[in-house]
Chain A
Amino acid sequence: MDELDKRVVDLIAEVLVDVNKENIQLNSKIVADLGAESLDIYDIIALLEDEFDMEITDEEVEKIQTVQDVADFIREHKKRS
């Protein structure tokens, strides 16, 4: 995990406090493995938007499943901007 990956894990852990942080892996599915419900997802998105100063649309959220997907999406966004 690089710095960005670690930061993403930190933010997800901040919302999913019931999940042991060591269990949040890059290949963890945010809903299926980590048990996030809809409010958790919106909460995580808002934290990511603040942290990386970006906006994530609902269409883009649909495509995200794993922690890795989140990190890749942010990297992609950084390249574009």
Chain B
Amino acid sequence: MQQRVVVTGMGMVTCLGTGVATNWEALSAGRSGIGPISLFDASDCYTRIAGEVAPHFDSARHIPVKEYRRLDRFQQFALVAAGEAIDDSGISCPPENPYRFGVIVGSGMGGLATIEKGVEVIRTKGPSRISPLMIIMSVINLSPGMLAIKYGFRGPNFGLVNACASGASAIGEAYRLVREGCVDVVLAGGTEAVITSLSVGGFNALRALSTRNDEPQRASRPFDAERDGFVLAEGSGMLVLEAREHARARDASIHAEIVGYGATDDAFHFVMPDPQGDGAYWAMKQAVEEASIEPSRIDYINAHGTSTDLNDKIETLAIKRLMGPTANKVAISSTKSMTGHMIGAAGAVEAIYSIMSIKTGVIPPTINLDFPSPECDLDYTPNKAVSRTVDYAISNSFAFGGQNASLLFKRV
């Protein structure tokens, strides 16, 4: 029998701060977390701005002291976000039925900073001097692995690699595992820390990043006519997904229900979206059909909204195809205007933002939307948050590689 799937725990760390409450306050106020790059010397890069997580982000001390220097930044973020999510869920760990508890963590590129250091060691000292921590700190599946160790979750456990959709895909696949009754609980989300010279240089070579270096907080401007690329950011979002009956049995407080997940691929190009937005449209449509609702019931779309020319135009097209004449009535926003683009963490963090819109009745704004682009003519909640009752919210994530993931959340 299929299970209904609910969210009982949420946690995050972003450039806006640590914790869901801190983030939500910043988003509601329309605050940007973008600034000059400090994590490496970016003076030779075309792009010198990013959304960096501030030092001392582990304010609740979720990272065991011994592990601190043995983990790459992307793993540290996952521990902090997961710590908040598990605390929030009230699940006692290790659980009594550990094989019914899984972990799925998405990440686009893993421990890139660690790999860069390793390459430097090869050049300067030779391969025999590589740190024994290098492999541990760079592989993506160590994030779900270390969370299994920490919480004693012994069920399905894997890393999921899907570039900018990794976090959303992780939640979607976790949702299916719970729905099909394979497990009762999955700790699922995404994590990323690739503000490094290799990644900034690489995205610059693809002409994907904003170079508005003089105005960092105005650089991420989704749907605006003067947008010139995305702003790279880092962070993690983690959710506790749980079978509804399991959550009820332990009297857990429920944030929202997941009622639909769509997963498609454009099958079109390495990095460009399908010009008709077919893949994006079908991802949203699958999610809506799974929930058996009319698209017009959707109150809020947390857009992928990267601030690149193509994404914002084509996502708009896909939303219009999905919603028809009601597209003008749905509230849309891109929270990437404030957080930047956290790649593999983005989908997970934005899933939580979507749930927060349901819980609080606040639509966070798209900031820097000063000059609406002619091809982007829907209601993107420009510059100021608005109040609105949200019963259904969709979170979109689209990846380089053509992968699309849409998650549909419902008020409980």
A residues adjacent to B (C-beta < 8 A): 14, 17-18, 39, 42-43, 45-46, 49-50, 55
Those of B45-78 within 8 Å (CB) of chain A: 65-66, 69-70
> Within 8 Å CB of B65, what residues of A?
17-18
Q: How far is the CB of B121 from chain A (nearest CB, A)?
A: 9
Is B131 in the interface zone, CB < 8 Å from A? yes
Q: Is the CB of A46 within 8 A of B66?
A: no
Using A17-B65, A18-B66 as known contacts, say yes or no to A46 and B128 having CB atoms under 8 A apart.
no
Is B272 in the interface zone, CB < 8 Å from A? no
Q: Is the CB of B132 within 8 A of A55?
A: no
Is B133 in the interface zone, CB < 8 Å from A? yes
Q: Is the CB of A49 within 8 A of B129?
A: yes
Chain B residues with a Cβ closer than 8 Å to the other chain, count: 9
Q: How far is the CB of A56 from chain B (nearest CB, A)?
A: 10
Those of B123-142 within 8 Å (CB) of chain A: 128-129, 131-133
A-B contacts counted at CB < 8 A amount to 20
A50 to B125, CA, bound (A): 9
> Within 8 Å CB of A46, what residues of B?
129, 131-133
Interface of chain A: mostly helix, strand, loop or mixed: helix
Closest to A44 in B: B132
**Cross-chain pairs A/B with CB under 8 angstroms, 20 sampled:** A14-B69, A17-B65, A17-B66, A18-B65, A18-B66, A39-B132, A42-B132, A43-B70, A43-B131, A43-B132, A43-B133, A45-B132, A46-B129, A46-B131, A46-B132, A46-B133, A49-B129, A50-B129, A55-B128, A55-B129
A14 to B132, CA, bound (A): 15
Closest to A42 in B: B132
A55 to B130, CA, bound (A): 11
Closest to B129 in A: A49
Q: How far is the CB of B194 from chain A (nearest CB, A)?
A: 24
Closest to B133 in A: A43
> Within 8 Å CB of A50, what residues of B?
129
Closest to A39 in B: B132
> Within 8 Å CB of B133, what residues of A?
43, 46
**Which one of B69, B131, B132, B133 has the highest number of Cβ atoms from chain A below 10 Å of its Cβ?**
B132
Those of B92-141 within 8 Å (CB) of chain A: 128-129, 131-133
Q: How far is the CB of B110 from chain A (nearest CB, A)?
A: 19
Q: How far is the CB of A54 from chain B (nearest CB, A)?
A: 10
> Within 8 Å CB of B128, what residues of A?
55
> Within 8 Å CB of A49, what residues of B?
129
Closest to A14 in B: B69
Q: How far is the CB of A34 from chain B (nearest CB, A)?
A: 13
5 additional A-B residue pairs with CB within 8 Å, beyond A18-B66, A43-B131: A14-B69, A17-B66, A43-B132, A45-B132, A46-B129
> Within 8 Å CB of A45, what residues of B?
132
A43 to B133, CA, bound (A): 7
> Within 8 Å CB of B69, what residues of A?
14
> Within 8 Å CB of A42, what residues of B?
132
Closest to B131 in A: A46
Closest to B70 in A: A43
